Amino acid sequence: LLGGCVYLRLLEVKQQLGQFDRFFALQTADGLALICHTPVLRTADLRWIGLNPEHTKKLGQAEQWQVRWVKQLPAGITEKMEFDIVLELGFAADKLTRVAIPERYFAVMPKPFLIGVIKSVGKGRIDKSSKRIDSTVAAADIAAARPKLPAIDKLLGVPSEEREEGENTIVRYRYVPATKEARAGVFDMHLTFHTKSGELLKWQGFTPVGRIGFDFSADRAKR
């Protein structure tokens, strides 16, 4: 029953993204923050999904979380710096009101690109049987160039796995929660690039509650 309620609220968020300017605002001065005008998701929903905070801070009736995932490297590989993923979440009256991404992630990834990807979720096609959302992202939805393979390497570091399929290179990044709790919060990112040009063609995220996929290849087919 709880799981069904969570999925209904996730669906409501998806529908809100389809009317982005009505339900959300953006702050871009320091990192990128998504502000929810009509909050839907609850703290219990996020914990059920697998988002457990590494650090929390109480501010009256408000609460702040820092959620961090640790990248899993191939056997025998080390890196000189950490390439973890960090999100900062804000809650009021037990509902998610703010999601913030630190500025450092935008050194090689334009903010307008990520904003366009987030907005495209509202237009995505839902497959309820497989718990999947697929979104085709057109150039009109993205106000900045897609990051290419060298930029993703710089942003995310060594992939957990890399392989070539025909003309494409597929890199996989696997992340586990820094909280060391049950591995419910594990998720994978699969990014498909055209090997020769380095262009990003597909971006898929595999989460404990379903899959979300973005297809950028339509623009390449038109050229």
pLDDT number for residue 154: 92
Return d(Cα 157, Cα 198) in angstroms, integer.
16
Return d(Cα 88, Cα 79) in angstroms, integer.
24
Residue by residue, pLDDT tens for the chain (223 residues) are: 446 788 889 889 999 999 999 999 999 999 999 999 999 999 999 988 888 899 999 988 899 999 999 999 999 999 999 899 999 999 999 999 999 999 999 988 999 999 999 999 988 888 877 777 788 776 666 766 788 999 999 999 999 999 999 999 999 999 998 886 655 678 899 999 999 999 999 999 998 878 899 998 866 545 4
Contact between 202 and 216 under an 8 Å Cβ cutoff? The reply is yes
pLDDT number for residue 1: 41
The one-character DSSP state at 146 is P
pLDDT number for residue 140: 62
Rounded (to 5) percent helix, strand, coil in the chain:
30, 40, 35
Closest CA to 189 of 161, 164, 148, 215: 161
Instruction: Say what the pTM is.
Output: 0.87
pLDDT number for residue 220: 55
